[in-house]
């Protein structure tokens, strides 16, 4: 029944796509292509978790054992899950968290980001219409203080969270301080995501993939590129091409189909980004500065740093930081990435297989993209989630995700005590 309800929710989402796309544009500031992609991702989550749930929860797994005994392993829900979701994917991540927790047999209290409550309300109403009982899914709106009250509640059985590393730490501390059962925290946080482009990379492809990875969605993706390492032999040419491609981006009204870069989420976000840009103008070399219209807009910027250590935190907007490196110092580049403590996404542009394989073997990063852009993970194809300061795992949209929302129960029955094993007598074993 749970799986059928999720599949019905996907159908309802798609049948009302224009309504939800308009909501994503109005409340979330999404461009048309971003809104459409998010709607498809939300539907994919519903269908994927329904399919995975049928495998995991449909039939108990028979375990080996001696004749005269049956052993079965079952997955069961934990209880009440609190789902705390972000504003940057207010439909897809919200529904991904909620549907996973529901499919695993839990009831859910969903707390969306304070900036995007209407999208959450519509999504919850859609799930109720699709067949999820109202008693199993509740919506609570408000700011971070509401989230803190929910996470501290004695009766919750788990928390699924997507947002900043700072808030994830606060939730982790709150859970550790509570008496009672030890409950899971499933967290996906951010990252100082890097891309490495060596001298063998195709410059046109690098320029296209960098601009997409750094500036699409106004840089407001957990997976977005923040730090580009370019081999110094080709750095001048590549930076020039990237700046040229960025110059062609149209910034403005997200409801205009020609817009590439829409607004940042609110005034507070704009102020933080403007302050970072002002600081970078005094500490780094400016290669490109776009023009932003009035309102909550931040234009793409490209700065060159002397050292990767100058970028000490995730900058959640359309700002790219570039560092040159010499080929013999590639290990130092990997050490610099490692020192950030994050491990969410990494891009590699190279036509040398040994280089690619060496980088993949060396880094602890959740999602690595080779010779392509590094955003837009597809549900069931590129399970998404990071390591270290970037999250706890398991990966959303992957085969191991649902199990974290559940407990396991083993049932052993002495069948001989009931007069023998009927299956054995019937010749079925």
pLDDT digits (tens, 9 = 90+) for 252-289: 999 999 999 999 999 999 999 999 999 999 999 999 99
**Same domain, residue pair 125 and 69:** yes
Cα 355 to Cα 215: distance, rounded to the nearest angstrom: 27
367: β partners = 345
Structure tokens at 198: 């060596």
**Number of separate domains in the chain:** 2
Q: What is the mean pLDDT of residues 148-176?
A: 96
CB burial readout 311-339, b (16+ within 10 A) else e:
beebbbbbbbbbbbbeeeebeebbebbee
CA angle 116-86-215, nearest 5°?
Answer: 95
Domain that holds residue 127: 1-189+391-413
Please say whether the dihedral angle defined by the alpha carbons of residues 57, 376, 39 and 320, taken in this order, is positive or negative. Answer: positive
Domain match, 225 and 158 both: no
Residue carrying the six token digits 């990379």: 201
pLDDT at 76: 96
Interatomic CA distance for residues 295 and 275, integer angstroms: 16
Q: Do 219 and 103 reside in the same domain of the chain?
A: no
Does 7 lie in the same domain as 111? Answer: yes
Q: Are residues 324 and 304 in contact, defined by beta-carbon separation less than 8 angstroms?
A: yes
Residue 379 and residue 398: Cα distance in Å, rounded? 7
Has residue 361 been placed in a domain? yes
Run of H or E residues at 349: strand 345-349
Q: Does residue 49 sit within a domain?
A: yes
Rounded Cα–Cα distance for residues 147 and 94 (Å): 14
Tell me, what CATH number does 254's domain have?
3.40.309.10
Which residue, 30, 36, 188, is CA-closest to 115? 30
Percent of the chain with pLDDT over 90: 96
pLDDT tens profile 342-395: 999 999 999 999 999 999 999 999 999 999 999 999 999 999 999 999 999 999
184 lies in the same domain as 203: no
What would the DSSP string read from start to end of 129-194?
A: HHT--TTTEEE----HHHHHHHHH-TT--EEEEES-HHHHHHHHHHHHH--S----EEEE-----E
341 shares a domain with 218: yes
pTM assigned to the model? 0.95
Does a structural domain hold residue 386? Answer: no
Q: What is the pLDDT of residues 76-111, one digit of tens each?
A: 999 999 999 999 999 999 999 999 999 999 999 999
Q: Distances in Å between the alpha carbon of 156 and those of 107, 109, 138, 183?
A: 10, 9, 13, 8
User: pLDDT tens for residues 289-307?
Assistant: 999 999 999 999 999 999 9
Helix, strand or coil for residue 17? Answer: helix
For residue 394, whether the previous peptide bond is cis, meaning omega lies within 30 degrees of 0, is yes
Domain assignment present for residue 143? The answer is yes
Mean pLDDT of the chain: 96
pLDDT surpasses 60 at 420: no
Residue 382 located in a structural domain: no
The single-letter DSSP state of residue 404 is: G
Q: How would residue 422 be classed by pLDDT, with cut points 50, 70 and 90?
A: low
Cis-peptide, bond into residue 408, ω within 30° of zero: no
Q: Is residue 99 one of the residues assigned to a domain? A: yes
Alpha carbon 365 to its chain centroid, in Å, reads: 13
- Candidates 321, 371, 328; CA nearest to 349 is 371
Looking at residue 53, its pLDDT comes to: 97
The strand pairing partners of 413, in sequence order, are: 70
Q: Does 211 share its domain with 133?
A: no
pLDDT higher for 427 or 234?
A: 234
For residue 422, being part of any structural domain is answered with no
Q: For residue 129, what is the domain's CATH number?
A: 3.40.605.10
Give the residue from 226, 227, 189 showing the smallest Cα distance to 390.
189
**Pair of tokens at residue 199:** 């001298």
CB atoms within 10 A of CB 346: 26
Q: Are residues 127 and 57 in the same domain?
A: yes
418 band by pLDDT with thresholds 50, 70 and 90: confident
Question: For 109, phi and psi rounded to 5 degrees?
Answer: -110, 115
- Active site amino acids: 188, 222
47 pLDDT above the threshold of 70:
yes
- Residues 347, 364 within the same domain: yes
The CA-to-CA distance between both ends of the chain, in Å, stands at 32
Residues 139 and 217 in one domain: no
Q: Between helices 2-15 and 17-28, what is the axis angle to 10°?
A: 80
Do 160 and 259 fall within a single domain? no
Q: Residue 426 falls within a domain, yes or no?
A: no
Percent of the chain with pLDDT over 70: 97
Whether residue 46 is found in the same domain as residue 144: yes
**DSSP-assigned letters across all residues of 355-383:** HHHHHHHH---SEEEESS-S--PPTTTS-
């Amino acid at each position: 029944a749970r799986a059928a309800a999720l599949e019905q929710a996907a159908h309802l989402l798609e049948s009302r796509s224009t309504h939800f796309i308009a909501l994503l544009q109005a409340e979330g500031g999404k461009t048309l292509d971003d809104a459409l992609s998010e709607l498809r991702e939300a539907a994919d989550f519903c269908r994927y978790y329904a399919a995975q749930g049928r495998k995991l929860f449909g039939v108990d797994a028979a375990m080996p054992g001696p004749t005269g005994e049956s052993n079965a392993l079952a997955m069961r829900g934990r209880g009440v899950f609190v789902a705390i979701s972000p504003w940057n994917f207010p439909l897809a991540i919200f529904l991904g968290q909620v549907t996973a927790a529901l499919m695993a047999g839990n009831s859910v209290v969903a707390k969306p980001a304070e900036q995007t409550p209407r999208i959450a309300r519509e999504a919850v109403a859609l799930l109720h219409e699709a067949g999820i009982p109202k008693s199993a899914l509740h919506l609570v709106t408000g700011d971070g203080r509401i989230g803190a009250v929910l996470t501290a509640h004695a009766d919750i059985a788990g928390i699924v969270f997507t947002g900043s590393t700072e808030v994830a730490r606060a939730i982790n501390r709150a859970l550790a301080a509570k008496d009672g059962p030890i409950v899971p925290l499933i967290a996906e946080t951010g990252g100082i995501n890097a891309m490495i482009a060596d001298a063998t990379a195709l410059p046109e492809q690098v320029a296209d993939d960098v601009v997409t990875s750094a500036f699409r969605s106004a840089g407001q993706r957990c997976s977005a590129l923040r730090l580009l390492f370019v081999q110094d032999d080709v750095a001048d040419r590549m930076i020039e091409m990237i700046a040229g491609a960025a110059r062609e981006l149209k910034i403005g009204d997200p409801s205009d189909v020609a817009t590439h870069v829409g607004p940042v989420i609110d005034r507070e976000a704009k102020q933080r980004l403007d302050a970072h840009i002002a600081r970078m103008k005094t500490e780094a070399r400016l290669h490109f500065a776009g023009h932003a219209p009035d309102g909550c807009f931040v234009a793409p910027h490209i700065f060159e740093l002397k050292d990767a250590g100058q970028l000490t935190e995730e900058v959640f907007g359309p700002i790219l930081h570039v560092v040159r490196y010499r080929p013999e110092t590639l290990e130092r580049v990997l050490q610099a990435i490692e020192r950030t403590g994050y491990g969410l996404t990494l891009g590699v542009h190279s036509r040398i297989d040994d280089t690619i394989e060496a980088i993949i073997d060396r880094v602890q990063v959740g999602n690595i993209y080779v010779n392509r852009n590094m955003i837009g993970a597809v549900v069931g194809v590129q399970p998404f989630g990071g390591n270290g300061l970037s999250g706890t795992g398991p990966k959303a949209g992957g085969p191991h995700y649902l199990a974290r929302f559940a407990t396991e129960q083993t049932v052993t029955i002495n069948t001989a005590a009931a007069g023998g094993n009927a299956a054995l007598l019937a010749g079925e074993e």
